[in-house]
Amino acid sequence: MKIRSAFTVLALAASLVARVPATRPILGVDPIHIEASASPCRDFYGYANGAFDRKPIPGEYASYGVNQEIDERNFAVLKGILETAARKGGPKGSLTRRVGDFYAAGMDEARIEKAGVRPLAPLFAAIQALKTPTDLMAVLGRLHATGIPAGFGFGIQVDDKDSSAMIASFTQGGLGLPERDYYLRPGQDADGIRQAYEGHVVRIFALAGDSADSAKAQARTVMTLETKLAEASRTLVALRDPEANYHKVARADLPALASLDWNAYFAAVALPPGESHVLVGQPEFYKALAGLMAAEPMAAWQVYLRWHALRSAAPHLGAAFVDENFAFYGKTLSGATELRPRWKRILAAADRALGEDLGQLFVKTAFSPAAKARALEMVHFHKEAMRARILAADWMGQATKAQAIRKLDTMRSKVGYPDRWRDYRSLAVSRRSHALNVQAAAAFDFKRRMAKLGRPADRDEWHMTPQTNNAYYDPSMNEMCFPAGILQPPFFDEKADDAANYGALASTIGHELTHGFDDQGRQYDWQGNLKAWWTSEDAQRFEARAHHIVKQYDAFEVLPGLRINGKLTLGENIADIGGLRISFEAFKLATQGKDLKPIGGFTPEQRFFIAFAQGWRTNQRPEALRLQVASDVHAPVRWRVLGPVADFPEFRKAFGCEPPPAGQSPTAIW
């Protein structure tokens, strides 16, 4: 799955517009953000957004920009829905009752304080009772089935090489810091974050009732064990190679792969006996894990599991836990200075727990049939533009082109909201305990995913909720998805002109479409199977072009001494660069024969590019930038504008810019 930006996920986002009614229209091209003294040719991001750049970032945000403005408006709609449902309720088992009870329990701070860590007592007891590596595997299964990540990753997914089938999948995991390099990277900065993390673990154990000395010793144990898991983990760049991370293993062969009690785990997660194979993404991680389970005392694993149970639950417990969790994950790691208001945190939890219940109520007010029709028309023109690009690609042979066109023709688009809604009736929600509601929802979701095994892949399912301000391309399904939550002003306005809509959605429709043909997406065929469908000459020519994009982004310096990782962000950068070009051509196709006039002193083409750049306007704290560069496959926003316009003749033409120096390698693939 390819998300548009890590900073647009509802769970992370959140402020101002909800409190302040909009006093001026929301425009896709807004002159108020432009820095007229800047040169559009030298720094197009600074030109389009320079005035916005001077705005302070509200305390509760690590980053604040156009996505957060949209989020705030979406949140305001959702808040109204949740408050009404909590006040009015509804018949037992009804959608509004479920949503209302969930929200009411989350807002009941007095009850949450009184409960303390009691909601975790059964899990603590299971952890306390474990004596052997077999018990450990069983407890890991129990934690995973309750939505608590620890030890390793487990999930149900489409089989990459047989997209009609679902399969259980094991991946590396088990870390409390964002990814392996946080444990292993040398330097003062990294040392500081590791010390802060260990201090955070100490304080969480102390809040759970442990003595100061014991909390300190336990935090050391956690750090030591997680560092060993990190050492056994692949880098983020290595994880981007789908072929290298695909290993289908017969169930009977698992003990030979890693000496773990797999059956104890399978029993705990109720894996159906008919499942003959599983995927193991990183086999060497599991070999190392088996070694650690044999070598480390069970007491150390107990400490580790208790930490992860507390870590997952902390945001849903009393104020001291919430504050401590925010102090590390919010302040230290991302630079936010203020905790988000409670209603936004509970809204995010409700979105995770009952996302499509909320979605049903959201789309009634926030997405019209006319908006859906206009968005579908835009998708149509984007596909036509992509068809032209494929046919015109002078580096690609006829055989590969025919397959690429087949992939384009069969690519599906989901717009707005699902046709069939998820049924949450078997999920029990009550006003008694927020933490238990969160656990029950996670368990419900785990069971729902397990039930997919043995059935054909569900092509109608959505991987994002309708209210999500984000989008994705799913290579296994060969489909794009654009939730109603992102088809909102200024990204999309059914009343806006085409230049504004096509420009702003270049980073969404053009971008997701290009993912089908980026360095990862291109490895999946029209049916969604990971399979070599390119001739080897064409594949080599693709790789050579991709190499230039790696070098282009490797050279971008985000903060003094901090450069973008061109390999880590390659797929997103290909999608950003191609997305802008495809959207520009889609804009031309959509407006063919129309007499477009300048608006506000800008030509239609200039408006297209300004809408694109303003669709990325975001101010980020240095901590958030560092976190993003270290752990995110997306380049920071400024370079998501500068990279794509760098070598685009239509852009230069629109603003009268000089051509790039002769001999410079072309960076666009699409």
Site string for Zn ion, 547-586 (x = CB under 5 A): -------------------------x--x-----------
Taking the CA atoms of residue 550, residue 552, residue 553 and residue 556 in that order, the dihedral angle to the nearest 10 degrees is 150
Of residues 249 and 574, the one with the C-beta less far from Zn ion: 574
Site string for Zn ion, 140-179 (x = CB under 5 A): ----------------------------------------
**33 near Zn ion, judged by CB under 5 A:** no
Q: How far apart are CA 623 and CA 88, in angstroms?
A: 42
Of residues 349 and 642, the one with the C-beta less far from Zn ion: 642
Of residues 210 and 572, the one with the C-beta less far from Zn ion: 572
Q: How far apart are CA 609 and CA 499, in angstroms?
A: 8
Query: Which range, of 1-9, 81-89, 194-202, 233-241, touches Zn ion by CB under 5 A?
Result: 1-9
Please report how close the Cβ of residue 508 comes to Zn ion at its closest, in angstroms. Answer: 9
Of residues 72 and 572, the one with the C-beta less far from Zn ion: 572
Please report how close the Cβ of residue 514 comes to Zn ion at its closest, in angstroms. Answer: 8
Q: Which residue is nearest to Zn ion (CB)?
A: 2
Q: How far apart are CA 187 and CA 181, in angstroms?
A: 11
Please report how close the Cβ of residue 618 comes to Zn ion at its closest, in angstroms. Answer: 16
**Taking Cα atoms as reference points, which of 163, 168, 220 lies closest to residue 194?**
220
Please report how close the Cβ of residue 632 comes to Zn ion at its closest, in angstroms. Answer: 11
Bridge partner list, 487? none
Of residues 221 and 507, the one with the C-beta less far from Zn ion: 507
Task: For the segment 434-453, give every residue that binds Zn ion (CB under 5 A).
Answer: none
Please report how close the Cβ of residue 385 comes to Zn ion at its closest, in angstroms. Answer: 18
Task: For the segment 594-623, give every residue that binds Zn ion (CB under 5 A).
Answer: none
Task: For the segment 470-499, give every residue that binds Zn ion (CB under 5 A).
Answer: none
Neighbours of 206 (CB within 10 A): 18
**Taking Cα atoms as reference points, which of 178, 471, 480 lies closest to residue 311?**
178
Please report how close the Cβ of residue 668 comes to Zn ion at its closest, in angstroms. Answer: 16
**240 near Zn ion, judged by CB under 5 A:** no
Of residues 572 and 585, the one with the C-beta less far from Zn ion: 572
Q: How far apart are CA 442 and CA 461, in angstroms?
A: 18
Q: How far apart are CA 449 and CA 369, in angstroms?
A: 31
Of residues 4 and 588, the one with the C-beta less far from Zn ion: 4
* DSSP character at residue 69: H
Of residues 435 and 635, the one with the C-beta less far from Zn ion: 635
Site string for Zn ion, 294-323 (x = CB under 5 A): ------------------------------
3-class DSSP assignment, residue 559:
strand
Site of tokens 């890590």: 6
**Taking Cα atoms as reference points, which of 453, 382, 374, 431 lies closest to residue 156?**
453
Of residues 497 and 572, the one with the C-beta less far from Zn ion: 572
Residue 346 has which token pair?
């509970």
Neighbours of 345 (CB within 10 A): 19
Number of residues in contact with Zn ion under rule CB under 5 A = 3
Bridge partner list, 64? 619
Backbone angles phi, psi at 180, to 5 degrees: -55, -40
Contact (CB, 8 A) for 13 and 469: yes
Taking the CA atoms of residue 500, residue 501, residue 506 and residue 510 in that order, the dihedral angle to the nearest 10 degrees is -150
**2 near Zn ion, judged by CB under 5 A:** yes
Please report how close the Cβ of residue 159 comes to Zn ion at its closest, in angstroms. Answer: 23
User: Which residues make up the interface to Zn ion (CB under 5 A)?
Assistant: 2, 572, 575
